[in-house]
Amino acid sequence: MVLRKIDTRNFRRATRSTSREINRQIVLNLVREHQPISRADLARRMSLGRGVVTSIVNELLADGAVYEGPTGEAPRGRKPTLLYVRTRDRLAIAVDVRFSRTYVMLADFSGAQIALETFDTITEPGELVAEFAHRIGRLLERHGAEGRCEGIGVVVPGMVDHRSGRILNAPQLGWRDVHIRDALADSTGLAVQIENAPLACALAKMWLGRRGEGTDNFVYLTVSDGVGTGIVVNGQVVRGHDFTAGEFGHVPLDRNGPRCLCGATGCLEAYTSNLATLSRYLGKELTAEGTRALLSATPLTVPELIARARTGSDAGATAALEETARHLGLGIAMIVNSLNPAQIFVGGEITAAWDLLEPIVRQAVTERALTAAAAETPVIPEEVGGYPRLRGATALVAAPVFAAPQVA
């Protein structure tokens, strides 16, 4: 049994409209998860009368949240008209800011890519906002999307106060207490949501994931230019008291280990991030200035490193990736022992080598897990090339449409 305490110092009372708002969101989410679905099937799933469900569906149709598709098959009687969630013509701009590159994507509400641009990351906040405004305006005009884009989602490699949009600390970018949300909203005329990248990936897994993935209690581990986690418990993301929960990437595995971009030593990120893997292969120390210059001079990427390892002729590439896998397994074991999630999703370029690295990852998890059951925690790689961080940015705009209503 899940018991949730009512906060008597911070609560919202129910009104007469509350139950209908809740039922409306239930209908919308049932359509999202089971589409195509008929009104009759909705009524059966909700144990409500057909008239009540039809009334709610008519409201959703009038608001443009759902639409009617082709008729379905029926053993007898009139064929049912099937319902779908409207996503294809509801658009969002997704932005993924990384250490080395920044990605800007025009997508629909399902996360499907319409257009994608990328450029070298600009670390001066004002200049970055100006570049965003220019590129976003151009994308919308080029694709005839002005007036149809419902917002901008931005994910960053750092801790974010999601209420104010303030970026508390993004070590890779050298940012502390940086505000870009309001400036970007003012320059584009669009609502802007900004979030920590791993947490946004977790939101995408909940709201844009496939049916049946069982995504109520899980950890999403991103392995990119940085390393972090988005934690979901009972269908709710865990942010922490000051919005800094989930920073497993900066938990030290060895205080005498390599220096991390956050300034500490031996962090999980310093062993397993894309930058750490590439620096290890090239025999260079991981530093913000040195690594940025190195990547500009030697545009090597993790996918290219994986390709070299697959040839079997580059022992250095294989060794660099296997060391990443070993430490990644140790980090996953730490997450398993700390949080005991039902499953762990891994996103990032490293998943392209999962067939090569999974045995090493699993062995490290088994060695460090405290119980046999914990050692068997499913670790599931994301699809290669799926841009999970951009899907996360899209979810920042799309997910509120499906979220449970606030009790007013």
For the segment 179-236, what is each residue's pLDDT rounded down to a tens digit? 999 999 999 999 999 999 999 999 888 877 665 555 689 999 999 989 999 999 988 8
CB 148 within 8 A of CB 93: no
Within-domain flag for 408 = no
**Residue 48: what pLDDT?**
82
276: its two tokens = 């750490």
CB 180 within 8 A of CB 167: yes
State which residues form the domain around 69: 18-85
**Residue 2: what pLDDT?**
40
Please tell me whether residues 268 and 333 are part of one structural domain. yes
Q: Cα(19)–Cα(348) distance, rounded to whole angstroms?
A: 41
| Cα distance between the two ends of the chain | 26
Please tell me whether residues 299 and 165 are part of one structural domain. no
Point out the residues of the chain with pLDDT beneath 70: 1-18, 72-78, 209-215, 404-408
Query: Of 85, 117, 132, which residue sits at a domain end?
Result: 85
Residue 360's H or E segment, with its range, is helix 354-368
Within-domain flag for 7 = no
**Residue 163: what pLDDT?**
85
CB 159 within 8 A of CB 178: no
**Residue 3: what pLDDT?**
46
315: its two tokens = 């022992």
In whole angstroms, what separates CA 87 from the centre of its chain?
18
Within-domain flag for 12 = no
Please tell me whether residues 249 and 362 are part of one structural domain. yes
Please tell me whether residues 49 and 105 are part of one structural domain. no
Please tell me whether residues 70 and 149 are part of one structural domain. no
Longest dimension (CA), the chain: 73
Please tell me whether residues 76 and 128 are part of one structural domain. no
Within-domain flag for 40 = yes
Please tell me whether residues 223 and 356 are part of one structural domain. yes
Identity of the amino acid at 326: R
Identity of the amino acid at 69: G
Distances (CA, A) of 313 to 251, 282, 306, 318, 401: 34, 16, 12, 9, 51
1: its two tokens = 């049994």
CB 38 within 8 A of CB 63: no
CB 331 within 8 A of CB 268: yes
Please tell me whether residues 225 and 373 are part of one structural domain. yes
Within-domain flag for 105 = yes
Beta bridge partners of 237: 232
Q: Cα(39)–Cα(317) distance, rounded to whole angstroms?
A: 55
Q: Which pairs from 403-406 meet CB under 8 Å and 24+ separation?
A: 403/25, 404/22, 404/25, 405/18, 405/21, 405/22, 405/24, 405/25, 406/12
Q: How many domains does the chain have?
A: 3
Provide the 10 A C-beta neighbour count for residue 242: 9
* CATH number of the domain encompassing residue 81: 1.10.10.10
Within-domain flag for 67 = yes
Beta bridge partners of 204: none
**Residue 211: what pLDDT?**
54
* CATH number of the domain encompassing residue 250: 3.30.420.40
**Residue 8: what pLDDT?**
40
Question: Burial code of 339-357, b = ≥16 C-beta within 10 A, e = fewer?
Answer: bebebbbbbbbbbbbbeeb
Please tell me whether residues 226 and 327 are part of one structural domain. yes
Within-domain flag for 3 = no
**Residue 234: what pLDDT?**
87
Torsion 270-272-275-277 (CA) sign: positive
Distances (CA, A) of 161 to 165, 181, 193, 264: 5, 11, 11, 23
Within-domain flag for 11 = no
Please tell me whether residues 168 and 226 are part of one structural domain. no
3-state secondary structure of 180: coil
In whole angstroms, what separates CA 368 from the centre of its chain?
27
Residues in contact with 73: Cβ distance below 8 Å, sequence separation at least 6, in sequence order: 79
CB 325 within 8 A of CB 363: no
Please tell me whether residues 123 and 63 are part of one structural domain. no
Please tell me whether residues 266 and 188 are part of one structural domain. no
Of 282, 222, 227, nearest to 260 by C-alpha is 227
**Residue 210: what pLDDT?**
60
